[in-house]
Amino acid sequence: MTAALPLEAQGISVDLGGRTVLTGVDLTLSDGELLAVVGPNGSGKTTLLRTLLGLQKPRTGRVQLLGRPVDELSPSARARRAAWMPQEERPSENLSVADYVALARFPHIGAFGLEDESDRQAIEGALVACELVTFRNRGVLDLSGGERQRVLFARALAQAAPVLVLDEPTSHLDMARQFEVLGYLDRFRREAPGRAVIVAMHDLNLASRYANRLLWLARGEIAALDTPQASVTPERIFQVFGVETVVQTRDGQVVVFPPRSPEAPPRPRVAGLRVHVVCGGGSGEELLPALVAAGHAVSAGALNLLDSDQALARELHVSAAVEAPFSALSDPVRAENRRLMQSADAIVVAPLCIGAANLANLEDLLELDGTRWVFVLDGPSSVRRDFTGGRGDRALEELERRGATRVKSTPVLMKLLNDSSRRRSP
Amino acid sequence: MGRPSERSVPSVARLEDPGLGPRRGRGPTRTLLVVGVALLVGTLASLAVGPVAIPPENLAYLLLHRIGLLAVQDCPTRLVVDGTSVPCSIQAEILFDSLLPIVLLSLLVGAALALSGAAMQGLFRNPLADPYLLGISSGSALGAALVFVNASFLGITLEAGQQDILVPLLAFLGAFAAGLVVLVASHSRWANAETLILTGVALAAILGDLMVLVISLRPLAVALPLTFWLLGGFESATWDQVGVLAAVVVVAGGILILHGRVLNVLQMGEETAAGLGISVPSMRRRLILLSVILTATAVAFSGVIGFVGLVSPHIVRRIQGPNYQSLLPASALVGALLLVVANDVATSVLGGGAILPVGVVTGVMGGPFILYLLYRRRSSAGSA
């Protein structure tokens, strides 16, 4: 006989309060798999997980946990097979962290048994794994949201069940803790045969990084169930989440980020110029607001997502060509940036650091035909740095040789731009 | 996640400094020991107070003599009350027929109410829950009222013996019936902690009004003995009552104490409890049943004594934290101690042999105490 699958569900439909929450969900967790359930709020993620655990009775369909129908298992037998980490919990007593994690052993000890060595080891192991050893005597109600979430995770681990079912286990955690929890789950499922993890998540990037497959839930139905590479597409994300995104793949890792702010509100043109700013890393933080305030139509780029200038551009509704975080500029983004530069009356090179990633901005600028003003703005002498072994500085010199104006400070630049825009308008 | 990281450095430092972070209280074993000794001392001391103060050496003699450890035939000290000498045999009568059953019954009632209160607070996840939460007090009051009223209605003068049996019996039945209504309600698919509490509140109101109706059928004089009975007391304690209640406390209370881990799990919410393998509805019914049996029996013998069931678990929480595995037995001991002391106060505060209803004493002591607990808790560590 072959080993039973960790989890199997067929034709699951669930009604809650007279409303159909899940319809015809089929899924199979294979040995060692980490399955991420993604979908918008209210799509039925939590209900699905609860149904898989036997905590919610489905209207139709059946669930098998390690080869046994879940509704035939006793509550404690079920809890020894699958551990459940709910999204949130409001304990009514201020139990200590150690007592709280110890409760995970209930299905093993029973109501009236005594803790033995294996119970103590499971509890200690979970406390150590979640770095909670020094918290053992703290009251759970005295912890922060993130600390309490780690306690919940530790409890799920101490339950020592082969199947882990987790509902947004990282929602309150900082980035380092998120990686730790997901990394732990990743090791957990590989360590021994018969293990599997199913986890509801909101972060598509993390889900794609750690999960073998993604289960896309939309309005209670499976929209897709496939590997991240095959299923994370802008179309799918729009279908499930109703939002436009940009999806890229780098070294096999799927990256999802929002598109350039689509609806920049029409800004009254006070005889301004179209000004494109080459910035990044905060070098545009003075310039961008000043230009916008002066009534110029401002664009920027190419910027990396999560860069402070990108965030600022977004805030100011400045259109920008945007690249994935911490990545070199790709061809589509460069083309977008060239388009923005071509349609500008003036281009300003902010006092930015030039590295391999953004050198392309200057190269593209050099290739433009010379019908527009180009300004090279100096910051404090220490600011502009070239990390490209001279190629950046040479590009700037070449710009100046071709007629770019070197400007000492933002006020001077603003004066030049305002004068020329006044001259232009009749 | 076990790898060393920069973050773990400050927490290791914290490990070495026991002064940081709130203390989780004394160990449960030590708590039980300390409270147990206090209870023993309190019990013995309360034998020495009261209308007839038997000297301690005589008490020791009488107790040892009764259990056959002492063969001497007379009390060591002469006891003189109002100029008359009280013979040793009378002292023995006072001790064994009056003092001891009273003290033991107050002790057992305290333990029963405190256990029930702790279980109710845990079960309903509500710090203000008490043994009478489910309308039990009103049920017992109605039962007792029926005896008092019906007797006068039918023109029967109850013999003292009859009343001693009928009042507890109907009080128990009334209380138990009220508990049963809540138990039946808990079978409903809508049953959860909130609906059950509200069921109890509604039931208490209905039964309370029924009692008023029953009383108002008869002259007001009937209400007086009923009022005194309701306020609670142990003057009519008998060894039979002590025996019955002792059996109930040992069996039902013992089973309840074994459910400490279950109550711990229930503190995390019904969702998690179910996830950990507890069948919440059936466990809830079991705990309600045990609690109702304890409370109904206690009420039948003592009347409605407030605050002990509410306050005792809170005292224990302050001493040793909220772990129900030790909270339940410690609450029983604290509840027993509180009622023994309350009974001492009730019998001695007025002087001249006049006895205050114990319910009045617990109310006067317990009301301010619960306020103190509430506001001290608010000001410490913010655990609301």
B22 with A89: Cβ contact below 8 A: no
- Specify the pLDDT at position A113: 84
B20 contacts on A by Cβ (under 8 Å): none
A134 contacts on B by Cβ (under 8 Å): 11-12, 14-15
- Specify the pLDDT at position B8: 32
A106 with B265: Cβ contact below 8 A: yes
Judged by DSSP in three states, B142 sits in: helix
pLDDT at B159 over 60: yes
For strands A246-250 and A253-257, give the pairing.
Answer: antiparallel
Indicate if the alpha-carbon torsion angle A392, A398, A403, A406 is positive or negative: positive
Q: Could you read off the pLDDT of B321-362 as tens digits, one per residue? A: 899 999 999 999 999 999 999 998 888 887 767 788 888 899
- Specify the pLDDT at position B86: 84
Q: Which of A93, A136, A181, A187 to mutate to test the interface with B (most CBs of B within 10 A)?
A: A93
- Which residues on neighbouring strands pair with residue A165, listed in sequence order? A84, A198
CB-based contacts of B84, cutoff 8 Å, min separation 6:
none
Mean pLDDT of A58-76: 92
> From the CA of B329, how many Å to the nearest CA of chain A?
15
A138 contacts on B by Cβ (under 8 Å): 21-22, 24
Q: How far apart are CA B111 and CA B58, in angstroms?
A: 28
Closest chain B residue to A46 measured between Cα atoms? B271
Q: Could you read off the pLDDT of B37-87 as tens digits, one per residue? A: 999 988 888 887 766 778 888 888 888 888 887 777 788 888 887 778 888
Chain centroid to CA A6: how far?
A: 28
A134 with B11: Cβ contact below 8 A: yes
Cβ distance B91 to B58 under 8 Å? yes
B382 with A142: Cβ contact below 8 A: yes
Closest CB from B14, B272, B279 relative to A75: B279
B272 with A78: Cβ contact below 8 A: no
B1 with A130: Cβ contact below 8 A: yes
> From the CA of A368, how many Å to the nearest CA of chain B?
49
Cβ distance B123 to B287 under 8 Å? yes
pLDDT at A207 over 90: yes
A99 with B264: Cβ contact below 8 A: yes
Closest chain A residue to B25 measured between Cα atoms? A137
Cβ distance A236 to A58 under 8 Å? no
B277 contacts on A by Cβ (under 8 Å): 74-80, 106-107
- Cα end-to-end span (Å), chain A: 88
Q: How far apart are CA A337 and CA A367, in angstroms?
A: 12
Judged by DSSP in three states, A405 sits in: strand
Indicate if the alpha-carbon torsion angle B131, B132, B135, B139 is positive or negative: positive
Q: How far apart are CA A328 and CA A275, in angstroms?
A: 24
B382 contacts on A by Cβ (under 8 Å): 142
Exposure b/e, B164-183, CB count within 10 A at least 16 = b: bebbbebbbbbbbbbbbbbb
B11 with A135: Cβ contact below 8 A: yes
* The two three-digit tokens of residue B167, written as one number: 């009042």
- Specify the pLDDT at position A265: 52
B14 contacts on A by Cβ (under 8 Å): 134
pLDDT at B1 over 70: no
Please name the residue ranges forming H helices in B19-55: 28-48
Closest chain A residue to B123 measured between Cα atoms? A92
Q: Mean pLDDT, chain B, as a whole number?
A: 82
Closest CB from A79, A96, A131 relative to B276: A79
Mean pLDDT of A408-422: 82
Closest CB from A92, A106, A181 relative to B267: A92
A99 with B267: Cβ contact below 8 A: no
Q: Could you read off the pLDDT of A272-297 as tens digits, one per residue? A: 788 999 988 888 888 888 888 888 88
A159 contacts on B by Cβ (under 8 Å): 276
Q: How many CB pairs under 8 A join A and B?
A: 116
At B157, the pLDDT band (50, 70, 90 cuts) reads low
- Specify the pLDDT at position B206: 93
Closest CA to A167 of A89, A85, A104, A222: A85
Percentage above 70 pLDDT, chain B: 86
Q: Which of B11, B197, B256, B261 to mutate to test the interface with A (most CBs of A within 10 A)?
A: B261
B22 contacts on A by Cβ (under 8 Å): 138-139, 142
Q: What is the pTM of this model?
A: 0.72
Mark out chain B residues that contact chain A at CB-CB < 8 A.
Answer: 1-2, 5, 7-8, 11-12, 14-15, 21-24, 122, 125-126, 258-259, 261-262, 264-265, 267-269, 271-272, 274-279, 317, 321-324, 381-383
Closest CA to B140 of B362, B363, B304: B304
B383 contacts on A by Cβ (under 8 Å): 94, 139, 141-142
Radius of gyration of chain A (CA): 28
Closest chain B residue to A84 measured between Cα atoms? B275
> From the CA of A72, how many Å to the nearest CA of chain B?
13
Q: Which of A48-57, A308-317, B101-110 has the lowest average pLDDT? A: A308-317
A142 contacts on B by Cβ (under 8 Å): 22, 381-383
Distances (CA, A) of A195 to A30, A49, A83, A206, A239: 8, 16, 11, 21, 32
A96 contacts on B by Cβ (under 8 Å): 24, 321, 323
Residue-level length of chain A = 426
Q: Which of A218-227, A375-384, B283-292 has the lowest average pLDDT? A: A375-384
> From the CA of B177, how many Å to the nearest CA of chain A?
28
- Specify the pLDDT at position B327: 95
B383 with A139: Cβ contact below 8 A: yes
Distances (CA, A) of B18 to A137, A369, B8, B290: 10, 72, 17, 40
pLDDT at A227 over 80: yes
A111 with B258: Cβ contact below 8 A: yes
Q: Which of A25-34, A80-89, B150-159 has the lowest average pLDDT? A: B150-159
pLDDT at B11 over 50: no
